[in-house]
Structure 1
Amino acid sequence: MTLHPQVAAALASMPAPPPGPLDAVAMRAAEEAHVPPLAERPSLHAVEDRDADGVPVRIYTPVEADTCGLLVYFHGGAFFLGSLETHDHVARNLAKETGLTVVSVGYRRAPEAAFPAGLQDCYAVVRWAAEHGDELGWDGGTLAIAGDSSGGTFVAAVAAMAHDDGFGAITHQVLFYPSLDLDFDEDRYPSLRENAVGYGMETAGLRPFNAFYLDSGADPADPLVSPIKRADLSGLPPALVVTAEHDPLRDEGELYGRRLQEAGVPATVSRYDGAGHGFVQHFSWIPEFARVHRETADFLRGR
């Protein structure tokens, strides 16, 4: 299937990136400038900014209820972009569709914070959420983790860390077009060549976009950096792995899902035809892609 025409039109209207090395500060400012006004975001019962043992979080309560399940969300952005604001609408949509209280994590980013600072923040908030379940209204049931792109990297890594630590509270993991192999050898996966050019995120841009993270000490051979390199995936939480047809990262996500299945982990791999990388953040308003929130909700409800 070809790239969805509305996505193709949006990409065609985007200006070419400026030449030279990436400027993290300028790129963050540009991203923040495109955040929609509050009135245009999905409304919920309550949204609150808090501090989770030193990590900024934003808590989304979809409806008034005594208790409900929890979902801890890690935003994407190649480990140096993204924020509570840029992904606010994603967290709101997840809360609204799943009915869970969503805790979005404002983790530390590269290059200012070296590896593994951001990952440690994400894991710490998951444990904080479990420890503060009473004040969050957690019903003691669902405690899911979810993330898009590099946030999906953190989901896989946090699930592994929790397993190795004997922390068994995580019930589900949801990975939206995750980055799971930071080796970036173009011959490693066919999708790196099939989707190299013309679909938004391009294969040639993967290395420079992730350079801030890798240069901060993240070793691509480390399974906490490249979760697909973890030898034993058994015992991890059930997973939903969402991929995009026209994404250079498509094949590593789908391979990870298959490896989970082979390790005895209940795992669903769902490819969105016509989609490119980042569609949950940028194009989930398109009807063909909006179902990703319903699919996530169905997975978390065990359907």
Structure 2
Amino acid sequence: MTTKHLVDPELAALLEQIPATVVTDENLRQIRAMSPRASANSPQFPTITVTERFIPGPEGAPDVRVLVYQPTSVQGVVPSLLWLHGGGYIMGSADAEDLTVKNIVSALGCAAVSVDYRLAPETPYPGPVEDCYAALKWLSTHADELGIDPNQIAVGGSSAGGGLAAALALLARDRGEFPLAFQFLLAPMIDDRTCTLAQPHPYTGEFIWRAEANYFGWRSLLGQEPGGTDVSPYAAAARAEHLEGLPATFLYVGALDLFLEEDLEYARRLLRAGVPTEFHVYPGAYHGFRMVANAQVTRTSERDLLAALKRAFGPARRSNEHSQASHA
């Protein structure tokens, strides 16, 4: 059975261009080499500066590479975004999502730090999430230097990046050292048990990120078979027993995405835990549909995301703008 008849017509053409690839230990290096990177033909953003930094990593681990985005057209203290790239925990880079981050920074006038966390299977859990925590620590403790408000830090990402964002929000809540104001999770990869379902959803996961890749990603991150009883919630956020006290959340997923049901369930549990949550399911959309930038469903999802972030940053921005006006 195929679900092609359910795909949004504007998203269908891309499926003919992307071959169905099975990820293995043997071909992972080659697939990484083929992964998209920042293009020299990307739009220019003259009001954003980008600097590469190497910040202290977790204890006993290497420094973490980050890209720091700062708006030059905004005065005063600004909110900030900690961005975690996607790639199934096994591939991807901060550079590959440069345009995504610049679009957000440009639209909202915030700063951003994009994290090049270490990848599995070379670095299994907890390495990747601890790299992200190190970035949060650096961002929070260097707020004055960076011109950001340490109480207005949002964390977000897509796919595995969304999974790491959800795990980082749990870790930050439980350690109680650095506050997060908001989390946005774009089709997050948060539940290894999806790999072991006896009756998987019959209409999800046919395209882009399929069950075989999902299994490989989770096995690589966990260093063991997915679906066991001893998986940490800081590896797979859906494993968390309690979601109370998490920051306000924006979460979306495509109706044909392999992660549909795990994301639906996480949103339900967030709401049951009293976490302010906005949740969207986009019809006809498979995993990674944002690659079709001009599709109406992609534009809608971008509008929803930016509106949610703008609301999350709103009080601080209004206060900052009032302060600027009073000193004018």
**With structure 2 as the length reference, what TM-score do the two structures score?**
0.83
User: Identity of paired residues, percent?
Assistant: 28
Deviation at 1:216, TM superposition (A): 6.8
Aligned residues: 297
| Distance in structure 1 (CA, Å) of the matches to 2:294 and 2:65 | 27
- Quote the residue 1:239 is aligned against: 249
Aligned equivalent of 2:31, options 27, 30, 36: 27
- Quote the residue 1:57 is aligned against: 66
| Distance in structure 2 (CA, Å) of the matches to 1:155 and 1:56 | 17
Unaligned ranges ≥5, structure 2: 57-62, 313-328
Aligned equivalent of 2:305, options 277, 296, 302: 296
Deviation at 1:127, TM superposition (A): 1.5
Letter in 2 for 1:109: L
- Quote the residue 2:220 is aligned against: 212
- Quote the residue 1:124 is aligned against: 134
Structure 1's 246 and 16: CA in aligned 2 closer, same or farther, altered over 3 A? closer
Letter in 2 for 1:185: T
CA contact 2:22–2:213 (8 Å) conserved in 1: no
Aligned equivalent of 1:86, options 77, 87, 96: 96
Structure 1's 117 and 85: CA in aligned 2 closer, same or farther, altered over 3 A? same
Tell me if 1:70 matches 2:80.
yes
Structure 1's 216 and 116: CA in aligned 2 closer, same or farther, altered over 3 A? farther
Structure 1's 277 and 135: CA in aligned 2 closer, same or farther, altered over 3 A? same
User: How do 1:26-175 residues align onto structure 2 when only pairs under 5 Å count?
Assistant: 26-31=30-35, 34-41=36-43, 43=45, 44-53=47-56, 54-65=63-74, 66-175=76-185
Structure 1's 139 and 167: CA in aligned 2 closer, same or farther, altered over 3 A? same
1:39 partner SS: coil
Deviation at 1:244, TM superposition (A): 0.8
Deviations 1:5-59 (CA, angstroms, capped at 9, x unpaired): 232211123334379655221111101xx43523324524211111222211111
Structure 1's 125 and 216: CA in aligned 2 closer, same or farther, altered over 3 A? farther
Deviations 1:85-132 (CA, angstroms, capped at 9, x unpaired): 211122122222232111100101112223211110001111210110
Instruction: Calculate the aligned-residue CA RMSD, in Å.
Output: 2.3
Letter in 1 for 2:31: M
| Distance in structure 2 (CA, Å) of the matches to 1:283 and 1:174 | 20
| Distance in structure 2 (CA, Å) of the matches to 1:209 and 1:302 | 34
Aligned equivalent of 1:287, options 293, 296, 305: 296
| Distance in structure 1 (CA, Å) of the matches to 2:23 and 2:168 | 35
- Quote the residue 1:269 is aligned against: 279
- Quote the residue 2:325 is aligned against: none
Tell me if 1:226 matches 2:236.
yes
Tell me if 1:252 matches 2:262.
yes
Deviation at 1:247, TM superposition (A): 0.2
Structure 1's 137 and 92: CA in aligned 2 closer, same or farther, altered over 3 A? same
2:6 partner SS: coil
CA contact 1:28–1:81 (8 Å) conserved in 2: yes
Question: Which runs of 4 or more aligned residues in structure 1 lie more than 6 Å from their structure 2 counterparts after TM superposition?
Answer: 216-219
Letter in 2 for 1:50: R
| Distance in structure 1 (CA, Å) of the matches to 2:205 and 2:234 | 25
Letter in 1 for 2:10: Q
| Distance in structure 1 (CA, Å) of the matches to 2:251 and 2:24 | 34
CA contact 2:219–2:225 (8 Å) conserved in 1: no
Letter in 2 for 1:47: V
CA contact 1:246–1:277 (8 Å) conserved in 2: yes
| Distance in structure 2 (CA, Å) of the matches to 1:216 and 1:90 | 32
- Which range moved further: 66-75 or 202-211? 202-211
**With structure 1 as the length reference, what TM-score do the two structures score?**
0.89
Aligned equivalent of 2:196, options 171, 175, 185: 185
CA contact 1:98–1:294 (8 Å) conserved in 2: no
- Quote the residue 2:10 is aligned against: 6
Structure 1's 122 and 207: CA in aligned 2 closer, same or farther, altered over 3 A? same
CA contact 1:57–1:106 (8 Å) conserved in 2: yes
| Distance in structure 1 (CA, Å) of the matches to 2:17 and 2:219 | 27
CA contact 2:22–2:212 (8 Å) conserved in 1: no
CA contact 1:50–1:56 (8 Å) conserved in 2: yes
Unaligned ranges ≥5, structure 1: none
